[in-house]
């Protein structure tokens, strides 16, 4: 038989009132306990390692169902780690006791990262080494706080920055980036900050003329169909879409807001940065439509997006505050 150990965390302000509880779901035994900042869900009763690994998808679905009903926002991984098994379980126990200053009784058949999902034979004595779960606190010197605080409040029109709706929303979204627990959510939040700053730009007269022509033709077609039919509903939706298309796409709006904002600040690489922003938005579209980006791609895109958003927001802040 095999066991699935599935750890997850909750954001600050959320918790599950549990020390350690167990229940049965079909033929499986569920046990939940809290361990420092992690909640450890242990599920036993699987007939094979592959069956247990596949069940990670079921666990994630269960957590999302909990989110929809109780607002708990779990952060967890979806792939099981590779378990490192020891050649000599008793020697491994002695090594752990010596190297980590822990009193380990009995054999140690394997070691896992306690913060990531793992599947292992139920009869094995598995020990956890929780990596990276210590709370990371970035301490900012008070001198830096006063320096930037005094600079920010001293701009001629700093008191009016919060009265610029688009900039205020973009700053709120950028702030939310630091509190999001999901890598996907952090990336999307950064892109939304750029979207919030964007404004519709009218297309060229040639394009607008074509759109008006098509909308007129569409109106004539609507007159020929039953107004309660699916065709009528679709045609009316297309008419609204044509009206919307009189402005540039969000993709081009993001390019324009990055380009014009940085150009106004005298940035020599404004053009290249705008192109980079468009590439980031394309990755956002891939993530939204396909639901996934490769981890390495997502990590780099988030890092690049953060740099661009910071630059644009700082430039826009200075422009509005002056």
- pLDDT one-digit tens code per residue, 53-64: 999 989 988 887
| pLDDT of res. 182 | 86
Half-sphere exposure of 122 (CA within 13 A, CB side): 13
Which segments within the chain are labelled E, that is strand? 2-9, 20-25, 28-35, 38-46, 84-85, 110-113, 118-121, 126-129
Return the closest-CA partner of residue 192 out of 141, 257, 267.
257
| pLDDT of res. 132 | 47
Query: What are residue 250's phi and psi, to 5 degrees?
Result: -60, -35
pLDDT in tens, 103-158: 666 788 888 888 899 999 999 888 887 654 444 555 567 687 778 877 887 888 88
| pLDDT of res. 312 | 94
Q: Tell me the pTM.
A: 0.61
Positions in the chain whose pLDDT score sits under 70: 96-105, 130-140, 142, 200-204, 242-248
Question: Do β-strands 28-35 and 38-46 pair in parallel, antiparallel, or remain unpaired?
Answer: antiparallel
Return the closest-CA partner of residue 301 out of 194, 196, 199.
194
| pLDDT of res. 91 | 79
| pLDDT of res. 237 | 78
Which residue carries 């793992």 as its tokens?
118
Q: How far apart are the two ends of the chain, measured CA to CA in Å?
A: 68
Look at residue 126 and give its three-state secondary structure: strand
| pLDDT of res. 53 | 94
Strand partners, 113: 129
Which residue carries 């009528």 as its tokens?
232
């Amino acid at each position: 038989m095999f066991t699935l150990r599935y750890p997850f965390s909750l954001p600050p302000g959320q918790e599950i009132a549990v020390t350690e509880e167990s229940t049965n779901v079909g033929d499986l035994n569920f046990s939940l306990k809290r361990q420092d900042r992690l909640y450890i869900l242990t599920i036993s009763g699987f007939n094979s390692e592959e069956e247990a690994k596949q069940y990670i998808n079921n666990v994630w679905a269960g957590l999302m169902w909990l989110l929809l009903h109780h607002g708990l926002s779990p952060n967890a991984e979806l792939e099981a780690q590779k378990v490192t098994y020891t050649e000599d379980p008793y020697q491994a126990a002695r090594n752990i006791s010596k190297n980590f200053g822990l009193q380990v009784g009995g054999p140690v058949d394997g070691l896992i990262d306690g913060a990531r999902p793992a599947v292992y034979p139920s009869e094995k004595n598995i020990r956890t080494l929780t990596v990276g779960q210590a709370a990371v606190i970035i301490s900012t010197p008070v001198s830096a706080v006063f320096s930037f605080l005094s600079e920010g409040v001293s701009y001629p029109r700093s008191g009016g920055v919060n009265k610029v709706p688009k900039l205020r929303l973009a700053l709120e979204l950028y702030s939310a980036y630091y509190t999001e627990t999901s890598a996907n959510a952090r990336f999307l939040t950064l892109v939304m900050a750029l979207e919030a700053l964007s404004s519709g730009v009218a297309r060229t007269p040639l394009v607008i003329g074509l759109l008006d022509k098509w909308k007129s033709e569409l109106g004539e077609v609507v007159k020929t169909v039953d107004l309660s039919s699916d065709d009528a509903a679709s045609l009316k939706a297309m008419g609204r879409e044509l009206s919307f298309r009189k402005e540039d796409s969000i993709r081009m709006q993001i390019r324009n807001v990055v380009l014009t904002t940085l150009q106004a600040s005298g940035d020599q690489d404004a053009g290249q940065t705008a192109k980079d922003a468009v590439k980031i938005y394309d990755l956002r579209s891939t993530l939204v439509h396909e639901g996934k980006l490769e981890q390495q791609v997502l990590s780099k895109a988030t890092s690049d997006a953060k740099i661009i958003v910071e630059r644009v927001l700082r430039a826009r802040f200075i422009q509005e505050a002056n």
